[in-house]
Amino acid sequence: MQVLNCEQTKKLEKSAVNAGISYLELMENAGAAAVRFLRKKFSLSGRKAVILCGKGNNGGDGFVAARKLSELGALVSVVLVDGPPRTDIAKTMFSRLENTSVKILDYVGNMETIGPVISSSDYIIDAIYGTGFHGSAPDILLPVFRAVQYSSAVVFSLDIPSGASCDSGAVDGECIRADYTISFSTLKNGHVIRPAQSYCGQVAVVPIGIDANLITGQKSTLEVMEPSSGQALLKPRDPLSNKGNYGRLLCFCGSEGMAGAAVMSAKAAVRCGAGIVDVALPRTIYPIVASRIVEPVFTLLDYGPGGKMLSTVLPTLKNAMAKASACLLGCGLGQNEDLQQTVFELIANSQIPLIIDADGINLLAENINVLKAVRVPVVLTPHPGEMARLMKSTVEDVQAHRLEYAGNFASQYNVILVLKGAGTIVAEPNGMVHLNPTGNAGMAKGGSGDVLAGMIASFVAQGIEPAKAAAGAVYLHGAAGDRCAKELSQCAMLPTDMIDMLPRLFLELER
């Protein structure tokens, strides 16, 4: 699903104008479309509607909506929250309110009277800032924002709630919390990126007269994953094929005390269709892992006292990698100097795609520039804490700039970055970013990441292009989590339940 940022939205509108529609017509269509949406859901005649209008073009959309609501019998008041309109087309729309029953109220100088008008309304339309906003709302408007917050009215935001950044999804300070956000022509970044997303309520995309071919032709660097992202990974199998046709995945995972990570990643990989899964792990935990999953083959590694690797480990791993079509490393691997040097050696000399998770990422954070020498596709799957270590930053900073940091990191280090969390982001080196709409808080349990890493690695081993494998696996992982939450509850569901849910999900998507 296509998503545009502020600049891309401006380019789309300019293309429409070049094709023959005026900016004034677009504004008229936007305000009218917003009222049509409202009318479909609510009665209007005799109801009180307050339109909060800024001085820019978003306010102009609000003026149109005010006029249309008045024509339908609503009792309409327009509040100029920042004085009269400043753009030419907004001024034109404001002038069309003359000789209508719409009341015009100026917030500046009359602040004490505006609160009761807002609190007594049935509907509030937020047309203060729109997509060009960034930063934080000025203190003078905070009483307006709070009056909206405490009102019992149904709140509609035009394009995006005022106080939220269209591009980054950031909310710096107070923000209008809408019940509905009416977006014109396409989704915008802020509709799908948190925290802005949580202020949008239900998002409806309405047409405003821009040709569909112009919309689909507008270059976008952000898309929301859809079921097709997962379906693309589930290809029909050739009746004459054998296990050799579906790849061989090497999983260098697990350590003493972390056998479960090896189990879950390998089980997810087998479940997602890899022909052969080879689990390379310490000999000491082999009985535990083999008792929980019998499908893989095992490459046993010998460690000395204190977890020190014996000299046979690296040659053994290199031999196993030479047979594989992809390698997953890091799930429950542990961290020490021996492991770090081994991981660096494997990464630097790999001839097959790499999926690096958990401790693999933590070890990599000590020398991130190793990635710049890699000549094969690399998928990194950090959670916010691991991403913070990679960037020498903080979790709070990462969470506040998820889209920006994920995109920049993927480009800088030429990797596919899967930044996990609510709304997992898959960023490609070419600047394309995919946002996942599936998943829930019940997945916030140790082991969920191991399952996802195994899924991605399995699809990559089968020959699927790594970026598509990552995006599709993330979607399927979240969809399985949503089904588990529905059947088992968010509290009680387990990461292993998601693996067990995959067959039913795959059957449905394959039909």
pLDDT of 79 > 90? The answer is yes
State the pLDDT at residue 390: 96
State the pLDDT at residue 307: 77
Do 52 and 25 form a contact (C-beta atoms < 8 A)? no
Do 352 and 378 form a contact (C-beta atoms < 8 A)? no
Map residue 50 onto helix, strand or coil.
Answer: strand
State the pLDDT at residue 464: 98
Q: Distances from the Cα of 10 to the Cαs of 7, 211, 455, in angstroms?
A: 5, 15, 39
Q: Distances from the Cα of 264 to the Cαs of 62, 105, 259, 448, 450, in angstroms?
A: 53, 62, 9, 9, 6
State the pLDDT at residue 61: 98
The count of other CB atoms within 10 Å of the CB of residue 100 is 14
Do 251 and 266 form a contact (C-beta atoms < 8 A)? yes
Tokens found for residue 34 = 């917003």
Q: Read off the pTM.
A: 0.90
Q: Distances from the Cα of 128 to the Cαs of 24, 74, 235, 431, 477, in angstroms?
A: 18, 20, 48, 31, 39
Q: Distances from the Cα of 499 to the Cαs of 46, 263, 395, in angstroms?
A: 55, 11, 28
Q: Enumerate the β-bridge partners of residue 182.
A: 158, 204
Average pLDDT estimate for 159-178: 94
Average pLDDT estimate for 223-247: 95
pLDDT digits (tens, 9 = 90+) for 285-330: 999 999 999 999 999 999 988 778 999 999 999 999 999 999 999 9
pLDDT of 46 > 90? The answer is yes
User: CA 54 to CA 67: how far, in whole Å?
Assistant: 16
Phi-psi region of 332 (alpha: psi -120 to 50; beta: other; left: phi over 0): left
Average pLDDT estimate for 123-149: 95
pLDDT of 372 > 90? The answer is no
Percent of the residues in the chain that have a pLDDT greater than 70, as a whole number: 100
Q: Rounded to the nearest 5°, which phi and psi values hold at 3?
A: -135, 135
| Length of the chain in terms of residues written | 511
- Confidence label for 373 from pLDDT (cuts 50, 70 and 90): confident
Q: Report long-range pairs for 212-216 (Cβ below 8 Å, ≥24 apart).
A: 214/12, 214/15, 214/16, 214/19, 215/2, 215/12, 215/185, 215/186, 216/2
State the pLDDT at residue 314: 96
Average pLDDT estimate for 149-158: 97
**Cα angle vertex 75, ends 74, 76, to 5°?**
100
Residue 136's Cα: distance from chain center in Å? 23
pLDDT of 486 > 90? The answer is yes
State the pLDDT at residue 478: 98
For residue 249, what are the contacts with CB-CB under 8 A and spacing of at least 6?
269, 274, 276, 277, 278, 324, 325, 326, 327, 328, 457, 458, 460, 461
* CA dihedral sign, ordered 471, 476, 481, 482: positive
pLDDT digits (tens, 9 = 90+) for 448-478: 999 999 999 999 999 999 999 999 999 999 9
* Beta-sheet pairing, 103-106 with 75-80: parallel
State the pLDDT at residue 308: 85
- Confidence label for 235 from pLDDT (cuts 50, 70 and 90): confident
pLDDT of 1 > 80? The answer is no
pLDDT of 65 > 80? The answer is yes
pLDDT digits (tens, 9 = 90+) for 390-403: 999 999 999 988 99
Crossing angle (nearest 10°) for helices 313-323 and 337-349: 30
Q: Which amino acid is at 137?
A: A
- Confidence label for 115 from pLDDT (cuts 50, 70 and 90): very high
State the pLDDT at residue 510: 86
For residue 151, what are the contacts with CB-CB under 8 A and spacing of at least 6?
118, 119, 121, 124
* CA dihedral sign, ordered 70, 108, 178, 407: positive
Q: Residue for token digits 């009222």?
A: 35
**DSSP secondary structure of 115-152:** HHHHHT-SEEEEESS-TT--S---GGGHHHHHHHHH--
State the pLDDT at residue 306: 78
Strands in 75-80's sheet, in edge-to-edge order, are 103-106, 75-80, 48-53, 123-127, 154-158, 180-184, 202-206
